[in-house]
Every structure is written in structure tokens, then in C-alpha cells.
């Protein structure tokens, strides 16, 4: 038993050291990633559950580092947040998304709707609303084409500070979505206070929606609440036709997931958009 305890200690401490060194290695390489052109946005289609029609897309960061290979957002975003690199990266994500919207409009006459993830640190940095306003203005994109995805922890961190900021963003005309709903501590009562246009039900509640009565009940109460409060619902992480079918029965209007499409490189995403028109 003693030996086992020591082994376990060694395991944890070396794991900690490994993670700390990975953190600094990612940070060092991430500093140069933007200029090196290593960051890309992939776009995952969002569809209407009634007819499969494409209604927009979520922009998702992808990083292929020359030295580290592919680094997933789950490894990169925490480092970007703690180092402050999320600020230039977040601006790059907004500007790149708006640039795509603009280029697609110039080529086809149609406006895309792109949803962009915003991190807590970005949201809480003074001047965020102004940054969004400037990027929209410079790219000449109608604000309604841009949706900002915010998590509940971001809103709950400091509710008194968050609500006026959300209202300023709304006043700009951008759409606001509450991401990962159900995973945090937000109750329906809180939703009432946030001026959001869309709520994204987290994949954790979608996976078993066709066989879990409690998950279906949560989704059902969300549908009733959404129609009273006039926000739209998007289900995340739909992988199977049975989940799609159940969500549609329950009354979800929109969905996103591997069943419809994975996050795609820009050219593939645009080809899909054109095929649907």
C-alpha cells in the first residue's frame, strides 16, 4: 500500500510538471502563431431541424503549429486566456469572420450569419464593445450577421457588470447566444435577465435526449421558456438521426453537429453553402 501511495504521488507530480511545461511551450509558440499564419478558422454549419437548411455557422479556431503540430482549442484557449494572448487572437477571429461574411457577400450577394466564441477575458477587457464596433465598421458587415457566443460562467462571473455590457452589444445590433447551456449553474430564472437571442443546449443534454426522460424534460421546459421569452434554441453536438428526430419533436428549431457537418475549412464550407443555394 505504501509503495502504491508513492507511485501515485510520483504520477501526480510528474503529470503536473509535464502539464506546466506544455503550458509554457504552447504559450511560446502561440505568441508567433498569428504572424506565422498558423491560425485558421473552421466553420461548422448550423441547420434548421425542420428541413436541414443551412442557417449559419460557428467559427472554430484551428492551430497547426510548425513545431507542435495540431493543437486543439481545449489545450490552446486556456493558455491564450491566462497569457492574455486571447485578446489579439480574439480580435483576429472576429476580423477573419467578418472578412469572410464580406467576401461571400461580394461574390454572391448573400449575407452569411457567423457565430464567434468570446472568452471571459476578452469580454471583460475594457473596450471590447468598441473593438467589435470597429471591426464591423471596417469590414462593412451588418451587425446582425455577427453572433457572439458567450458562456454562462462569463455572464455569472459578475452579473452586475455583464448585463450593461450585453445591452451595449445588443444596441450595436449583433446577436448574442448563450453557449453550453445546462453545464453551468444558470437556471431558467437567470435567462430572464440576460438579453440573449439564442440559447445553445450543451451536447451533454443532447447525447441521450432520445432515451433520457430527464434530459428530454429539461429540453422541453427550455422550449416553453424560449417561446415565452422569445429567444431561439440551438441544440449542439447532434450526431445521430434519433437525436435529431427527438429534438425536432420537442420543438427545437436549430441544430449543429457531426450528423449535419463537421467544422470545415473555409473553402469546403463555402462549397457547401453554394450547393445549398
Instruction: Name the site residues for ligand C2E (rule: CB under 6 A).
Output: 44, 60-61, 72-74, 77, 93, 117, 119, 179-180, 203, 237-239, 256-258, 263
Cell numbers representing residue 42 in the block: 473552421
Q: Which is nearer to ligand C2E, 143 or 237 (CB)?
A: 237
**Rounded least distance, CB 210 to ligand C2E, Å:** 14
Partner from Ca ion, ligand C2E, none contacting 73, C-beta within 5 to 8 A by type: ligand C2E
Partner from Ca ion, ligand C2E, none contacting 61, C-beta within 5 to 8 A by type: ligand C2E
Q: Which residue has the cell 432515451?
A: 211
Binding site for Ca ion (CB under 5 A): 117, 149, 179-180, 236
Phi/psi of residue 224, nearest 5 degrees? -65, -45
Query: CA torsion, points 33, 85, 165, 180, in degrees to nearest 10?
Result: 70
What string of DSSP letters covers 134-189? HHHHHHT--GGGEEEEEEHHHHHHTHHHHHHHHHHHHHHT-EEEEEEETSSS--HH
Q: Which is nearer to ligand C2E, 71 or 136 (CB)?
A: 71
**Rounded least distance, CB 180 to ligand C2E, Å:** 5
**Rounded least distance, CB 118 to ligand C2E, Å:** 6
Pairing of strands 39-48, 264-265: antiparallel
Q: Which is nearer to Ca ion, 152 or 236 (CB)?
A: 236
Q: Which is nearer to ligand C2E, 5 or 180 (CB)?
A: 180
Look at residue 178 and give its three-state secondary structure. Answer: strand
Amino acid at each position: 500500500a505504501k509503495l502504491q501511495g508513492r507511485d501515485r504521488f510520483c504520477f501526480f507530480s510528474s503529470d503536473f510538471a509535464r502539464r506546466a511545461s506544455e503550458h509554457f511551450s504552447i504559450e511560446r509558440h502561440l505568441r508567433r502563431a498569428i504572424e506565422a499564419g498558423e491560425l485558421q478558422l473552421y466553420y461548422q454549419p448550423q441547420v434548421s431541424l425542420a428541413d436541414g437548411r443551412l442557417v449559419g455557422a460557428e467559427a472554430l479556431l484551428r492551430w497547426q503549429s510548425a513545431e507542435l503540430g495540431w493543437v486543439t482549442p481545449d489545450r490552446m484557449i486556456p493558455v491564450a486566456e491566462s497569457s492574455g494572448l486571447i485578446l489579439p487572437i480574439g480580435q483576429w477571429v472576429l476580423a477573419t469572420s467578418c472578412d469572410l461574411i464580406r467576401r461571400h457577400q461580394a461574390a454572391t450577394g448573400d449575407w452569411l450569419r457567423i457565430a464567434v466564441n468570446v472568452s471571459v477575458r476578452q469580454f471583460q477587457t475594457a473596450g471590447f464593445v468598441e473593438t467589435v464596433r470597429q471591426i464591423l465598421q471596417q469590414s462593412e458587415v451588418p451587425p446582425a450577421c455577427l453572433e457572439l457566443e458567450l458562456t454562462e460562467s462569463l455572464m455569472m462571473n459578475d452579473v452586475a457588470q455583464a448585463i450593461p455590457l450585453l445591452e451595449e452589444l445588443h444596441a450595436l445590433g449583433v446577436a448574442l447566444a448563450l453557449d453550453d447551456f445546462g453545464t453551468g449553474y444558470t437556471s431558467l430564472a437567470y435567462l430572464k435577465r440576460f438579453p440573449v437571442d439564442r440559447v445553445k443546449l450543451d451536447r451533454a443534454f443532447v447525447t441521450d435526449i432520445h432515451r433520457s426522460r430527464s434530459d428530454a424534460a429539461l429540453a422541453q421546459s427550455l422550449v416553453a421558456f424560449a417561446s415565452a421569452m422569445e429567444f431561439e434554441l440551438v441544440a449542439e453536438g447532434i450526431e445521430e438521426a434519433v437525436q435529431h428526430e427527438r429534438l425536432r419533436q420537442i420543438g427545437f428549431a436549430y441544430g449543429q453537429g457531426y450528423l449535419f457537418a463537421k467544422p470545415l475549412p473555409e473553402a469546403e464550407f463555402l462549397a457547401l453553402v453554394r450547393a445549398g443555394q
